[in-house]
Structure 1
Amino acid sequence: MTQTRAPDTANPENTVGPAWSPQAMREAQARAWEGVHQIAAAVRPGMRESEARALGETILADLGMGQAWHPLMVRFGENTLRIFADRNAPDLALAENDIFFIDIGPVLLGHEADVGAGFAVGDDPEMHACAAAARTLWRRVAAIWAQEALTGTALYDRAVAEAQAMGWRLNLDVRGHRVADYPHPSRQAAGKLGDLAGQPSAGLWILEIQIRHPTRPFGAFYEDLLA
């Protein structure tokens, strides 16, 4: 049976601001996904990451998502192995057979939306499988969270095991984080989901999944709200 866990605001990692609303948080996420898919549809082989970011910012602005709490991130090819903090990545061009991911953090309905996904172009079957596997792994781990009363640390331990069972390697430098109403300074103090000693509450935590191919230099990414 699926468990519903309201925020335990007695714990600092679960604090929310006065404007926080679980309904608004979910709606902000749903709207943000439109932005990711429109950017992905506009990305073409031959385009450089910098060009894709500039185009993505225009698309988001046209969608009313010009305000962001974290910058738009687009990664191509080998850069899909890099984490968000690696800002000085080479400005790669997308090849005919390639993989990429998009990560956006718009402020919508007064809340910190945060969504991201990987995509493949061309006909490399392993790249398409990698992009799909990140989504599948996210759903498996989210289902475990919904069904079992696990800590954030234990949840990522399970994610490692699930990734290995699927034939991929999980990057534990990427292990989730808090979101809430905006601005929300205490979000930073909450730490990573993968370090959380308590149980993640619904509507507050972003589950991040970043995997890599076991032998080839590329990976994939997927993130969404544990709602």
Structure 2
Amino acid sequence: MSNTTQQAVGGQFVLESMHYARDKTWEVVEQVAARIQPGMLESEAVSECKRVLQELEMERIWHPILIRFGENTLRTFKQRSEEDPRLKEDDIFFVDLGVVWKGHEGDAGATFVVGADAEMKACAEAAKTVFDEVEHHWRTTGSGGKALYDYAAERASALGWRLNLDIKGHRVSDFPHAIFKAGNLGNFEPHPEAGLWILEIQLAHPTRPFGSFYEDLLA
């Protein structure tokens, strides 16, 4: 597949609308995270997320709502959660949303911590740190997608975490991006264009059963 095909867009694509979709999706992520409290079931958090999406008048979701508590933060997008855990007083969770606004695909995800577990807080912060470092590398070096994930693995290891390389980012566009069959960002050799790719970072604690997640648009 050619670079041109892998970075193709639909006839309605507008970069500013991609930014709008990103910002609106982040608004939902933050509102949902603020409503998630210890004692809540993972399934209850998903229901709360649906209410927020309705309140903000989203057009549609383009990938299933993904909210993971505790040990489920180690699971990838395609893996189902183990049972329906209840959020503990000291716990970690992430929110991952793909939502269409103005005909464009927003995709955002971040990790949050309740309570005082220092290693959970460090893990959540590390996902954002690695994301920021890789995003800066993308912006300043002209690196391709594969090189970006090689760099991400190096940075995660240097900070004491394991990068899940089964999660390698993906395309977005005016809805639906899937018609372009672009594959994963981590397998894409050329330099990714702005506004078309989601950089995903999923980390695992080296010894304890939890991880963290952060994703955003390379804008």
TM-score, length-normalised on structure 1? 0.93
In structure 2, C-alpha distance between the alignment counterparts of 1:101 and 1:185, rounded to whole Å: 24
SS state of the match for residue 193, structure 2?
A: coil
Cα distance change, pair 10–215 in 1 and its aligned pair in 2 (3 A): closer
In structure 2, C-alpha distance between the alignment counterparts of 1:106 and 1:206, rounded to whole Å: 13
**Residue 8 of structure 2: which of 15, 22, 30 is its match?**
15
Residue 189 of structure 2 is matched in structure 1 by 197
Residue 33 of structure 1 is matched in structure 2 by 26
Gaps of 5+ in 2: none
TM-score, length-normalised on structure 2? 0.97
**Residue 110 of structure 2: which of 98, 110, 117 is its match?**
117
Is contact 1:15-1:186 (8 Å) kept? no
Runs of 4+ in 1 over 6 A off after TM superposition: none
* Cα offset, 1:172, TM superposition: 0.4
Aligned identity (percent) is 52
Structure 2 residue 82 is matched with structure 1 residue 96? no
Is contact 1:25-1:111 (8 Å) kept? yes
Residue 56 of structure 1 is matched in structure 2 by 49
In structure 1, C-alpha distance between the alignment counterparts of 2:212 and 2:75, rounded to whole Å: 10
Cα distance change, pair 58–120 in 1 and its aligned pair in 2 (3 A): same
In structure 2, C-alpha distance between the alignment counterparts of 1:185 and 1:179, rounded to whole Å: 8
Describe how 1:72-91 pairs up with structure 2 within 5 A.
Answer: 72-91=65-84
**Residue 181 of structure 1: which of 174, 199, 215 is its match?**
174
Number of aligned residues: 218
In structure 2, C-alpha distance between the alignment counterparts of 1:88 and 1:33, rounded to whole Å: 23
Structure 2 residue 215 is matched with structure 1 residue 223? yes
**Residue 39 of structure 2: which of 46, 57, 62 is its match?**
46
Is contact 2:171-2:177 (8 Å) kept? no
Gaps of 5+ in 1: 1-8
SS state of the match for residue 177, structure 2?
A: coil
